[in-house]
Amino acid sequence: MPRFARPLALLLLLAACDDGATDPDDGGRVTDAGRDDAGRQTDGGPPGGPICAEVAREMLDGQSIDVCLTAFETSPRVRLPADSAGVAYGGLAVADEQLVFRTRAGDLPVGSEPWVAEEQSARRYGYHLYRASLVDGEIESVTPVARIDDRVLMRPLRGLTLEGVVSERESSGGETRFAFESLNARVRIELDAALDETVVDPVGTGQPRFALYGTVVNATAPVRAADGSCLPALTDLGEANPLHDAADARVFLLRHPDMHGAFDDVVTLDWPAGVTSTNNMGSGLFSPTADLLLDDPPAPSGYFSGPHGVPWGGPSAELTVVEGGGGGC
């Protein structure tokens, strides 16, 4: 169980909404003010079908919106209505260090409108999709239409293998330091195929989150790398072993939008207990909600992360998503 784990209420209003009913002849989808009598969605979703494979409803700002609990198996994994000259569906993302509103047709510039600050302050943008009203191709206003469950957003990371290098331990005793400028310890991390089902919210995102665990598989024994080489056991490094005082070889990842403000969107990496009192953070594995609308979303490829605090406070990591390898050598 991740450190700081604690249960949160999902606050999902399912088919028992006061103004809704389930139509058993239409796949059990919820009917409400945003759907017609046959259960077809008329606002906030594609006509004739749900936006995701499993959908619930909840209230946001006095309006009922969809909650995507399980995405479709094929892209686009979330399916909102078609865009038009005056309407575009999408979400906030960072591209080339600029904040944009990402749609299926491309990225639209985002200024300093009040709604941007509001969505950032509540960190909702990291989980919500919006309907944007356009005037002459520019955003005039936005309305949230769906929240994406954290398990959907973390799905692209499940079962991945990461290989690369991390900092060696430089000193111990009164203060454990890591050689943050010299990443020489080779590692292979295999992420679990399933997310942990304990709800986590260690620093107040306001949204239920779910950790993805993984294992440093060459912690105590050599392992075959994806390129065919042999990764030595980290224990061979002696006291320079970055996991020298680790209780085990388990790590975990958490998605965290707006970590330090200014849309600082990261995935945190927690090392095994005993390694460091901090965790790592990096943007490489973070996927914006709007990517779920794309026919060909970018796949996770790499992850550079540094310690959350002083640069020598934990092992920095430069990791790449790989295929193949594994097993002893």
Position 176 scores a pLDDT of: 85
Q: How confident is the model at residue 11 (pLDDT cuts 50, 70, 90)?
A: very low
CA–CA gap between residue 285 and residue 269 (Å, rounded): 10
For the chain, what are the domain ranges?
21-151, 153-322
Per the prediction, the chain carries an average pLDDT of: 84
Beta-carbon contacts of residue 166 (< 8 Å; ≥ 6 apart) = 183, 185, 187, 242, 315, 316, 317, 318
Distances (CA, A) of 309 to 23, 155, 265: 52, 28, 16
Position 23 scores a pLDDT of: 30
Position 97 scores a pLDDT of: 83
21-30, 198-207, 260-269, 284-293: which has the minimum mean pLDDT?
Answer: 21-30
| Helix, coil or strand: residue 61 | coil
Question: Which tokens go with 67?
Answer: 């909650």
Position 202 scores a pLDDT of: 56
CA–CA gap between residue 28 and residue 24 (Å, rounded): 5
Distances (CA, A) of 63 to 17, 125, 311: 12, 17, 44
68-82, 93-107, 199-213, 242-256: which has the minimum mean pLDDT?
Answer: 199-213
DSSP 221: S
The letter for the amino acid at 18 is: D
CA–CA gap between residue 272 and residue 173 (Å, rounded): 19
> Between these two residues, 222 and 208, which has the higher pLDDT value?
222
The top-scoring range by mean pLDDT among 110-114, 121-125, 164-168 is 164-168
Position 88 scores a pLDDT of: 97
Position 254 scores a pLDDT of: 94
Position 122 scores a pLDDT of: 84
User: 45: number of CA atoms within 13 Å, CB side?
Assistant: 29
